[in-house]
Structure 1
Amino acid sequence: MSPTEEATVDIAAAWMRGGTSKCWIFAAEAVEATPLDLDVLLENALGSGDHRQIDGVGGATSTTSKIAVVSRSTDPGADVDYLFGQVGIEDRVVEWGSNCGNCATAVGLYALQEGLVAIDGETTPVRLRNVNTGAALSVAVATPGRRAPQDGEARVPGVESGGVPVELIFQGPFDFPGAFPTGQAREVVSAGGVVAEASIVNAGAPAILIEAGSIAMSGTESAAEIAERLPMLTGFRAAGAVRHGLILPGRPAPNAVPKTGVIGPARDYRTSDGALVQARDYDVAVRMLSMHAAHPAIGLTSAVAVATAAAAPGTVVRSLRSGGGRTLRIGTLSGVVEVDWTTSSGGGVDRVSLHRAARRLATAVLHVPTAGDPVRLGTTERPGGTVELPVPA
């Protein structure tokens, strides 16, 4: 079958919630079996090019327009490979340059439900490899009665309903100066005539973490207040992309990376639902961008970057956090997210862990329009070149 012979192509998928994100998960073999270029397949499936994504299955927000392509891994250090894509909403584009920890929790549960990994006791570990970045992660999924559950009671800030408990672990090392591309813990960054103090961190994902006070912010702003400052913050994302070596000066920055955050000291604030969070209940205030808006909570890769900066001397986060130790309570728009880490004998961060919840929402067959660009089977373009789909040989 060719795209000119049929108006649509069918592909099976699972719709999963992981943490505060929703992610469509495709088996790599199913993707390979379609005649469509991967980007076109995903743009058409999710309905990109329309801010409502009305003719597709995307959720019309940055946290619900995500996909993962999954297979058993051929890497001896991993059980499952997954390729993560951030699918554009108004723009017909798929960004392949980052990772998503929330979707990784969903991939772990999916792998057990689909039999990609054997269940092992009341809790089952799954070793993951993110194909985009090469990052090594692992999850520990609750498997009571040695069965892959469909639901559970674990809750996370920003989601009212429960899910299957999943511990997500990002494997390091994340240390200074290795996780700081410029070799500096803190530096001056300018964008659009505004000067800020920031830390440039690459742990979990490339990130630029800006001291709130240096740009007349607090780090406890509402989503509407972040939206008012979006042009300024987008300029800092581009400046951060240059310092990370993602783009050349003057070039447009990717929408998904670097992760861009405003960091402030703990103070009383109200969540997006109106709940009061008192300063004594968390350590540092963080407001992250997600594509072209305020993130409703915090992406887990961003949380890893914030935790790594909290552990390193001299950073913006370290200077603003209250308390100490190897746990960081992050005040987000949805409430407090807790991050833990372990350290090596040399003082570097060995691994970062978070507790999340995941649940399968649907198992579906998508009827995807075939109109689009020429076919490029088996590979997809991404910053830095091409990457093979994670299909075992």
Structure 2
Amino acid sequence: MHIPATLVRGGTSKCWLFNQVDVPGDRGDLERLLVAAYGATDPVELDGVGGATPTTSKAAVVGASPEPGIDVDYLFAQVGLGTGSVEWTSNCGNCATGVALYVVTKGMVPVTGDRTRVVMRNTNTGAVLEGLVDTAGGVVHHFGRQTVPGTRAGGVGVGLTFRDPAGGTTGSLFPTGEPAQNLRVGTAEPVRVSMVDAGAPVVLIDAVSAARTGAEPLERISADVPWLRAVRHGAASLMGLLQPGEAPGDAVPKVGLVGPSVPYTTTLGERVAAEAHDVSVRMLTMNAPHPAIGLTSAVAVAAAGLAEDSVVSRAASGPADGWLRLGTPAGVVAVRCSEVRDGLPHRVTVQRAARLLADARIYVPETGAPRAA
């Protein structure tokens, strides 16, 4: 069998996008199809269209939304590497950037002048996002000059805004009721963390309290993966993300280090001065160091930065006001919190870029075909 799909780069991720009319509606059948199409039983995904890294083994199913005021719904899938499974509990802001450009390009949302607004709902989490797509001259563009940290390639500009991101999963910006607290993992000394729910559930470790900087090279973060996973798993139950008896997973909460700004060199060899950013951030994506930062994680860092006692405010030497500049391995990512009321941001915006790379037919082995009724 074969299915139509579009490959898109959104920010620093690549994602295959599927129209919901072309894929099974049953989640189990859809998972089998994606595993087969991506070759996801193989960690290098050689016999499939997966990209063999967490940031390039992603998918989204897109369709018109029945909800008034929302243009499209999208279901996000993080396809496992060598696991033969798909993780369905999270969202991806970079893929949402690609979804915004995709639906404008495919005519699912009409062009409305120099900027076209797309309102999207992530059905995994219920999060609502706005994509403001560059349609200068009232036309769809296939190429652009907007760049993002992590690649020198240009793309079509997309301003991505998360609406009311706080508490989307747990009901509270700080699910434990505290902006920061000590967390003991195993027999090690406790570390200071902020457990945050904004954009996605995230546990942010005070790098200094953990004898780190938050600006470590990716090789050092790779060595810390077992420890970071232990922190993630320890925080999951405290954040109310696990049912009784349920084993913790490696998708949520997202986990990373936050430290003061320091001079460093990006993965592209560019020098970044300490004055060019407010905090240093290093995150995991699943169980690998993120080459930049996931946008949902960036939202959580920015929202936590509004609270005076959070690990982000401590690293930044005070609460953030408006824009917060994050020093990531790929470069500086600026995030803006606006319409802040009672300490909660009602809009969090990041400037991104996207490009449609290919329209294709993916040939799927019969093992990925939907089951007969």
Q: TM-score, normalised by structure 2?
A: 0.94
* 1:48-87 correspondence to structure 2 within 5 Å: 48-87=40-79
For residues 228 and 250 of structure 1, do their structure 2 counterparts lie closer, same or farther at Cα, with a shift above 3 Å needed? farther
Which residue in 1 is equivalent to 2:321? 325
Q: 1:90 aligns with which of 79, 82, 98?
A: 82
Indicate yes or no: 2:225 matched with 1:233.
Answer: no
C-alpha deviations, 1:251-296, integer Å up to 9, x for none?
5322221110101001111112232211111000000001111100
Change beyond 3 A, Cα 1:187–1:225? same
Please name the residue that 1:207 is paired with: 202
- Name the structure 1 match of 2:348: 352
Residue-pair matches, total? 369
| CA distance 1:33–1:99, change in 2 (3 Å) | closer
TM-score calculated relative to the size of structure 1: 0.90
Contact 1:37–1:376 (8 Å) recurs in 2: no
Runs of 4 or more off by more than 4 Å in structure 1? 33-36, 248-251
Residue 154 of structure 2: aligned partner: 162
Provide Cα deviations, 1:211-263, integer angstroms capped at 9, x if missing partner: 01122111011111011111111101111211222225775322221110101
2:33–2:369 contact (8 Å) kept in structure 1 = no
Judged with a 3 Å threshold, the aligned counterparts in structure 2 of structure 1 residues 241 and 336 are, in CA distance, closer, same or farther, namely same
Deviations 1:90-136 (A, max 9, x none): 21110010000000000000000111111101100000000000011
| Bigger Cα displacement from structure 2, 41-50 vs 166-175 | 166-175
- Quick one: percent identity of the two aligned structures? 47
Q: Retained in 1: the 8 A contact 2:158–2:352?
A: yes
Pairing of 1:1-393 with structure 2 (within 5 A): 9-32=1-24, 37-172=29-164, 174=166, 178-194=172-188, 195-248=190-243, 251-322=246-317, 324-371=320-367, 375=371
Contact kept? 1:207, 1:258, Cα under 8 Å:
yes
What is the distance in 1 between the residues matched to 2:127 and 2:19? 20
CA contact (8 A) 2:24 2:370 kept: no
Which moved further from structure 2: 336-345 or 100-109?
336-345
Contact 2:165 2:199 in 1 (8 A): no
Looking at structure 1, the residues matched to 326 and 42 of structure 2 have their Cα atoms a distance apart, in angstroms, of 33
| Alignment deviations for residues 167-187 of structure 1 (CA, whole Å, 9 cap, x no partner) | 000001638x93111111101
Give the aligned residue type for 1:134: G
Q: Is the alpha carbon distance of 1:368 and 1:183 closer, same or farther for their aligned partners in structure 2, counting shifts above 3 Å?
A: same
Amino acid at match of 1:225: R
